[in-house]
Structure 1
């Protein structure tokens, strides 16, 4: 019998009989998939039933735990901060958060970025701009040495796990997003104590927070960010959800920049704004306020002031 049949039956028995998967059931189902024992029809049925029902925190935690167990081992010191980047990118501009991540790394907190951004246009995707802020793309095996050398690295999902990449790309077949997008945000493949996550739909903030707590995450910040990335809109006071030392936590961002602008209206190239040859106060506010939220997640006191100081001194850092 198909290894996923019992789990499909649990989800699809019909009104009054169907139920959500337990964490253990979700772990077992994802293990069946990643071990290659599940038929493609059953994988599609499982993912779409979950989408129709709505995922629960135990399901996401079980899937993420199984996905982590499937990865090749991380071979070096853990990064301080995990920074997933899996937004579609249809409604955002340039990935200013890359400069924020670089500021965090220059503050002495190694940052591991990982992701896939399938719908961003050429020239504005995360991968197209990696070389501009000096964030190295590397393989999963080389990431520990890149972090040790420069404090920041980006690993593409297909390098982290080709199997997870194939699951994510089922969106092209099914025509709909699945819970795999959320699972990947929860992956934290190198086991960092702190992680930052963006969402596009506000309801996912609590879902991801609760799943992270089940997975033993210590420090977490989730916000509705630019295009679904962890990127703060500095002219909005945005609700924050997360964890501090494993306990539930909520906050707000405050407003770091006056006026009303869309994130896509920030001008200039990342390299030029970083170098100071282009001046865009709104773009700088995006970078600094996003870095402040990440630093706060890492436990840095007076994070907003620290982020501003890092921006001012960015060219004098040994890691710059």
Structure 2
């Protein structure tokens, strides 16, 4: 019987525990605050920001909504980030990606105070992650670790294939899984667009994390019997629906579920965990900056 890993339920549990952590901070007169910065007219980006703000309100985090015109000069964004870095009431800063083409994305990431970089993408925080001393774990890989915990999966000694090498998921996921630490100690293979015979690699894996951004790239024929499958992909494909499209993952769910011992759905799997771990990092940031210890889930 295949276990469907319910990301919504796990994320709700994380949020409930974080609400208690926020209460501890508030008892010490600390209000954790996340500033979300949106410099885009993209409806999807606006939706993501609104969802993150609602999540903040649910657990008691103050959400500061900062909007900048997509046509504004890049300097306006950098000056905004500089002001937020200096604002002692702001614990976390998230610049919603993508930014407009005339803005240097890497410069944006470098401009955020590493202590307030709750996405975990500042080069200093990336370096600390690789070194095994993470300040903030990137939200999606950390959320996947929490999903593993929810099904009592210890990666130690397991063969894991990560399909995709993005800075947001693939690379940090591999780094977390190879750490000599709880939630790590796995043997990790990272596959990507230049990998020869992807199926040969995935069939050898106890765990497959699909994060390539290619609709239904991995199917059941590419899995070993009883593998655990985590689908990070969210792809919009044409479909005969009211909206004219449907969302599918990087895994062909039906065929993969026939082989897998556990699998995440799309939607409702990894996505809710990404948002929950953003809240986690914001609470952790407030605890660090105000020197108020809290219990984190």
TM-score by length of 2: 0.29
What TM-score results when the alignment is normalised by the length of structure 1?
A: 0.27
Higher normalized contact order (CA 8 Å, seq sep 6+, divided by chain length)? 2
